[in-house]
Structure 1
Amino acid sequence: MSARWIATLVAAGVLLVSALGLYWKGRMEGSARERPKVDAALARAAVAGLEARAERDSAHRVEVVVRRRDVAARTVTQLTQDAMTSEDAHAPLAADRASRLRDHDRQLCLAAPELAGCAADPDAAGSQPAVRHTPASGAADPG
């Protein structure tokens, strides 16, 4: 082998090693440049997963509340019908029992004035009745 061939092979080797070095350096810099984007995408995916789970849990809780409300409405309807058709439904209440019921109604209206049957603007001194009188027509309270 001549010196010319050796110099050519050495130059080709140096050129190949330099090209591989530049290629590897570019890949490392590109990877470093893309790392924040990858981290942000992973964080967005984690947040989306948590949001989806929270939405499923919320929908489940709403479904439970709706079922409870429906059961309560059916129970109230049944109890109301039973109370209206009982033997003593139209008998007058004893005075002490009527007083206790009025006191309980007043306490309920003070605790939650938005309830149906509560006065719209209850007097804080208690001189105004806490419960609105509704007609005895049996019509449903618009609420």
Structure 2
Amino acid sequence: MKFIHTVALLFGFMFSFFLANTAHAQDPALGSWHTVDDDTGEIKSLVVLSLAEDGTMVGIIKKVLKKDAASDLCDQCEGDKKDQPIEGMQFIWGVERTGKGEWENGQILDPESGTVYTSNITISDDPNELEVRGYVGISLFGRSQTWQRIEVK
């Protein structure tokens, strides 16, 4: 009888873990997005937001699309990202899920300035728009962008 109880308990834990990871995988903020230039409104890049092994969000710049991109390298970056290619770069990391479509307290790198900001990422009322906020200190001191969802073919 103890064996059956142990197996049932183990199965319950595994099922709970599966449901938790499935919920994360289906979060509406995850997926492919176009970033938009603050000044011109031009699409700048294609980024993909996904889950890291620890359940936090990470973001990778898959493709730089802005025609007049100043550099292919992150020459303003510091540390291990210094002079690394922007395409393929992980520029978002450690963002924690606080609710469906709501992520907070991670880091986001602006490859143009090399500055790393604290970030909050929230799905908009329109599920095809993502509100991305980067700030220093408190959220009041920062800037926001609205990214557009894309379907990758």
Structure with the largest fraction of strand: 2
TM-score calculated relative to the size of structure 2: 0.27
Which structure has more RCO (C-alpha within 8 Å, separation ≥ 6)? Answer: 2
TM-score calculated relative to the size of structure 1: 0.28
Q: Which has the larger radius of gyration?
A: 1
Structure with the largest fraction of helix: 1
